[in-house]
Amino acid sequence: MNAARHILQTTFGYPDFRGNQAQIVETVAAGGNAMVLMPTGGGKSLCYQIPALLREGVAVVVSPLIALMDDQVAALRLAGVEAAAVHSGVPSEQLHQIADAVSAGRLKLLYVAPERAVSEKFLRFLDHHLISLFAIDEAHCVSQWGHDFRPEYRQLGLLAQRYPHIPRIALTATADSQTRADIKHYLHLQEAAEFTASFDRPNIHYQIVEKNNGKKQLLDFIQKQMRGQSGIVYCLSRKSVEDVAAFLRENGLNALPYHAGLPNETRTEHQRRFTREDHIIMVATVAFGMGIDKPDVRFVAHLDMPQSIEHFYQESGRAGRDGLPAHSWLCYGMNNLMLLRERIAQSGADETQKQIELQKLNAVFDVCETAGCRRVPLLRHFGEASEPCGNCDNCLNPPVRFDATESVRKLLSCVYRVGQSFAAGYVISVLRGKADDWIARNRHDTLSTFGIGADLSEKDWRSITRQCIGLGLLDSDPYHFHALRLTEAAKPVLKGSETVLLRPLKRAKAAVQTPRGDWLRTEREERLWQALRQWRIGRAKADNVPAYIVCGDRTLQDIVRRMPKQLSDLSEIYGLGAAKITQFGAEILAVCARFAAQQNDFEEMA
Ligand code: ADP
Ligand code: ZN
């Protein structure tokens, strides 16, 4: 294990293993099989990269996306590791060079797409070479259960039969039991050691707000809390992607759209700019995301409610992979919920499947509606028990519930009076005494509940209705215009034998979250930080790699903090291994020296 730690420190520049990385590395380096479930950003890559460096031969890494492979290879090379990717974009001349490097025993990691990994030609090539291990990244692609099913992944099971003595490690961030079972089955990993990391992402701050003007709320959030940061905004439809991206741009933000309806070149270009440049906001449908390895995404915003907790978790998990503070912000409204329910009801799925989908949606809704910690129900969903986190809106700013029994009874009885066959908007109009034609035609302006809710605004009633659905007092029928219906649980409330506590109808202004530059203590630090970022952009352009591959934000922070003066100081810096110090060390020291000199000037002036 000392050898593994030595590689971790000298090649990758990290002081210690995280979580169960050490055990995984040990298992695979010793020739064992492993199945690794680790959340996005948990540090899966090192789990096979270090064993690949410890063992003899070349490691074959199966990865589903070209962009992902290229980034990994670029990062490894910068760290001084011999790695290559073979895919359709690689010219044949280069393929020969790669083959030579494998034959000469120089290449340590070879990235391939699944279809190539199982092709007879490639396998025959492997037959003649020493393989250190097989790593199967994004292993959930074997499962139809997930959203990224790739049929070729199923055939990867043949590696087990053809190379029974070579260790195999499968890695994924998808944790549900069905997907797990599929991975074990199709990849023949029944006997493999299983490593599950906690799915908690403590650096992500969760904030969920009720929608009234979503775009405006989003703009506020970005301008007040996320200025100048990279982020992703997820929208439900292509149209709203276009609309929101244009709106953000009009307001001076660097936003780009991404959805399946855009031409291929535009999508590739936008994705490339997002990963390579700083401060871009990608406004996207869920088509965007898998394989986005950018570690310094500072926020993920959902402008609509996601359809399941898994989706929410995967999407929001793209923020803060570097472990630095990041935000997950979600804006939801009742119309949004109704639309999603309707989509499920009208989908071609069979009845059982529809019920499953509706339940999944309700689970998200519960997280949105809870007055308690957001993280507790999220983690419970992945089978983890936890305490309130202290890093979500409700923990930091607990909503004080009030006795809303009287209003709730008005609502419930109105639902009953209109025959449980009208949607929320209608019921609220009756409550508020709005005598429109439709209500008059139905003679609902003569009901005893007509106008008894005039004391509250439409928005207040929507909040009450939504909370009643959340509490299970009301149900809406997705097959029948979302008509509100009473549930069993509503009876004791209607009879007056139970009180109902609700969250405040108007949210107290959330305490403004600490903006990120907070760790910068002085103006000099701030200017050094900006100078280092400038340097990083220039370096990344020159080397034609994403900025974060040159070095991450955490590395730059560490430099600002420690103010290295000579090369030997750099080995202390987080994320700087020997190869990077050789390549960039002098440049980094030069940037620092400029500011150290200025500091002395200031001190003399003072
Ligand atoms: P995953 O594939 O699980 O989403 P990565 O392997 O891309 O995550 O790792 C996420 C980030 O964490 C990367 O920037 C990586 O360099 C960093 N990282 C991984 N392991 C460690 C460690 N032991 N110490 C510090 N940083 C680490
Ligand atoms: Zn919390």
Residue in the block written with tokens 């049929």: 151
User: 1-196 domain in CATH 3.40.50.300?
Assistant: yes
Residue bearing the CA closest to ligand 1, atom 19:
43
**Per-domain residue ranges for the chain?**
1-196, 204-396, 402-502, 523-604
Distance CA 414, CA 212 (A): 24
> Which range, of 86-95, 350-359, 496-505, 510-519, averages the lowest pLDDT?
510-519
CA distances to 228, 302, 586 from 208, rounded to whole Å, are 21, 9, 45
| Position 515 confidence tier, pLDDT thresholds 50, 70, 90 | very low
More confident residue, 510 or 15: 15
pLDDT of residue 603: 52
Beta partners for residue 37, in sequence order: 172, 196
**Ligand 1 within 6 A of CB of 199:** no
CATH superfamily of 204-396: P-loop containing nucleotide triphosphate hydrolases (3.40.50.300)
pLDDT of residue 314: 87
Side-chain-facing half-sphere of 578: CA atoms under 13 Å: 8
Are 29 and 57 in contact by the 8 Å Cβ rule? The answer is: no
Are 456 and 407 in contact by the 8 Å Cβ rule? The answer is: yes
Residue bearing the CA closest to ligand 1, atom 17:
43
Distance CA 578, CA 79 (A): 7
pLDDT of residue 526: 82
Are 382 and 200 in contact by the 8 Å Cβ rule? The answer is: no
CATH annotation of 402-502: 1.10.10.10
**Ligand 1 within 6 A of CB of 295:** yes
569 CA to middle of ligand 2, Å? Answer: 39
Using one digit for the tens of pLDDT, what is the confidence trace for 102-122? 999 999 999 999 999 999 999
Using one digit for the tens of pLDDT, what is the confidence trace for 248-281? 999 999 999 999 999 999 999 999 899 888 889 9
Work out whether strand 34-37 and strand 168-172 pair parallel, antiparallel, or are unpaired.
Answer: parallel
Tell me the Ramachandran region of residue 43: left when phi exceeds 0, alpha when psi lies from -120 to 50, beta otherwise. left
pLDDT of residue 514: 47
pLDDT of residue 199: 87
Are 50 and 209 in contact by the 8 Å Cβ rule? The answer is: no
pLDDT of residue 600: 57
Average pLDDT (28-48) is: 94
Average pLDDT (470-497) is: 88
Average pLDDT (128-147) is: 90
20 CA to middle of ligand 1, Å? Answer: 12
- For residue 522, which phi and psi values (nearest 5 degrees)? -135, 165
Among the listed residues 245, 231, 244, the one whose alpha carbon sits nearest the alpha carbon of residue 279: 231
- Tell me the DSSP string of 34-56: EEEE--TTS--HHHHHHHHHHSS
**Ligand 1 within 6 A of CB of 17:** yes
CA distances to 400, 464, 480 from 403, rounded to whole Å, are 10, 12, 31
| Position 488 confidence tier, pLDDT thresholds 50, 70, 90 | very high
Distance CA 7, CA 14 (A): 9
User: 523-604 domain in CATH 3.30.360.10?
Assistant: no
3-state secondary structure 362-422: HHHHHHHHCCCCCHHHHHHHCCCCCCCCCCEHHHHCCCCCEECHHHHHHHHHHHHHCCCCC
Distance CA 313, CA 296 (A): 17
Evaluate whether 1-196 and 204-396 have a shared fold: yes
Average pLDDT (81-103) is: 94
| Position 602 confidence tier, pLDDT thresholds 50, 70, 90 | low
The predicted model scores a pTM of: 0.76
Are 163 and 171 in contact by the 8 Å Cβ rule? The answer is: no
Which atom of ligand 1 is found nearest the CA of 39?
3
Percent of the chain with pLDDT over 70: 96
Average pLDDT (467-494) is: 88
Average pLDDT (427-454) is: 93
Does residue 606 carry a pLDDT above 60?
A: no
| Position 66 confidence tier, pLDDT thresholds 50, 70, 90 | confident
Question: Sheet harboring 326-332: ordered strands across?
Answer: 204-210, 326-332, 299-302, 231-234, 281-284, 255-258
Query: Which residues contact residue 424 at a Cβ distance below 8 angstroms, ignoring those fewer than 6 apart?
Result: 334, 462, 465, 476, 482, 484
pLDDT of residue 49: 98
Residue 157 gets which letter from DSSP?
Answer: G
- Tell me the DSSP string of 571-604: TTSTT--HHHHHHHHHHHHHHHHHHHHHHHHHHH
Q: What value does the mean pLDDT of the chain take?
A: 90
Query: Which residues contact residue 596 at a Cβ distance below 8 angstroms, ignoring those fewer than 6 apart?
Result: 563, 565
How many CB atoms within 10 Å of residue 237? 13
Mutate to test the pocket of ligand 1, among 6, 10, 45 (most ligand atoms within 8 A of CB): 45
Which atom of ligand 1 is found nearest the CA of 38?
3
Distance CA 528, CA 525 (A): 5
pLDDT of residue 159: 96
548 CA to middle of ligand 1, Å? Answer: 12
Q: Provide Rg for the chain, Cα atoms.
A: 28
Does residue 517 carry a pLDDT above 90?
A: no
**Ligand 1 within 6 A of CB of 40:** yes
Using one digit for the tens of pLDDT, what is the confidence trace for 197-255? 888 999 999 999 988 899 999 999 999 999 889 999 999 899 999 999 999 999 999 99
Percent of the chain with pLDDT over 90: 65
Distance CA 516, CA 521 (A): 12
Query: Which residues contact residue 64 at a Cβ distance below 8 angstroms, ignoring those fewer than 6 apart?
Result: 113, 114, 137, 138, 141, 148, 150, 153, 290, 291
Which atom of ligand 1 is found nearest the CA of 21?
23
List helix spans (H) across 56-157. Answer: 66-78, 92-103, 114-117, 120-127, 151-154
Ligand nearest the Cα of residue 7 is: 1
